[in-house]
């Protein structure tokens, strides 16, 4: 008996259903898809802020240069700070999604061990699946 087997399943000769593994995979993929969608959305928004901020900096630099106003240079400085902060947030989002992927990896491994299986179908279908598994 290995650490990944269930003693009751071993004693009764029960093999975990391939359907349970498929369900675990679907649940894990749904969680990852949601995180990936959020990451993609946040990343796109931050990149847009950075791009728009860079364009605004170029325009504000021209305005500040022409007017030589202290207020215009202050606004330019604030724009630069905003773009730098957005760039830092982009890196933090990237780091966060990588950490989430690392956290989800062990859970994916744990999800492969199924304690309770539920089969929805006829007895004949179940017997056919079990016979196919035993023949393999």
pLDDT tens-digit profile of 27-57?
555 555 677 777 888 888 888 888 888 888 8
Sole residue written with tokens 């359907």: 19
pLDDT tens-digit series, residues 106-123: 555 555 666 677 767 788
Q: Which of 35, 34, 73, 36 is nearest to 57 (CA)?
A: 73
- Cβ atoms within 10 Å, residue 86: 19
* Cα 88 versus chain centre, distance: 20
Q: What is the pLDDT of residue 42?
A: 83
Q: Percentage of the chain with pLDDT > 70?
A: 66
Distance CA 42, CA 89 (A): 10
Give pLDDT, residue 19.
60
Sign of CA dihedral 10, 12, 13, 16: negative
Domain ranges of the chain: 13-135
**Structure confidence at residue 2 (pLDDT):** 45
Going by pLDDT thresholds of 50, 70 and 90, the confidence category of residue 1 is: very low
Residues 89-102: pLDDT tens digits? 888 888 887 777 67
Percentage of the chain lying above the pLDDT 90 cut: 5
- Reading the block at residue 8, the tokens are 């009751």
- List the beta strands (DSSP E) in 12-125: none
Neighbours of 135 (CB within 10 A): 6
- Determine the pLDDT at residue 32: 59
pLDDT tens for each residue of 3-25: 456 677 677 677 666 665 565 55
């Amino acid at each position: 008996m290995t650490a990944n087997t269930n003693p009751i399943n071993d004693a009764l000769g029960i093999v975990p259903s391939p359907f349970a593994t498929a369900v675990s995979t679907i649940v894990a993929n749904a969680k990852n898809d949601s995180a990936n969608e959020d990451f993609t959305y946040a990343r796109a928004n931050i990149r847009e802020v950075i791009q728009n901020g860079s364009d605004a900096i170029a325009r504000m630099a021209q305005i500040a240069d022409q007017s030589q106003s202290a207020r215009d240079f202050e606004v330019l400085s604030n724009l630069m700070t905003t773009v730098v902060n957005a760039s830092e947030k982009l890196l933090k989002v990237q780091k966060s999604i990588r950490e989430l992927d690392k956290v989800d990896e062990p859970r994916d491994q744990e999800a492969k061990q199924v304690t309770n299986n539920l089969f929805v179908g006829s007895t004949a279908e179940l017997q056919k699946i079990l016979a196919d598994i035993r023949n393999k």
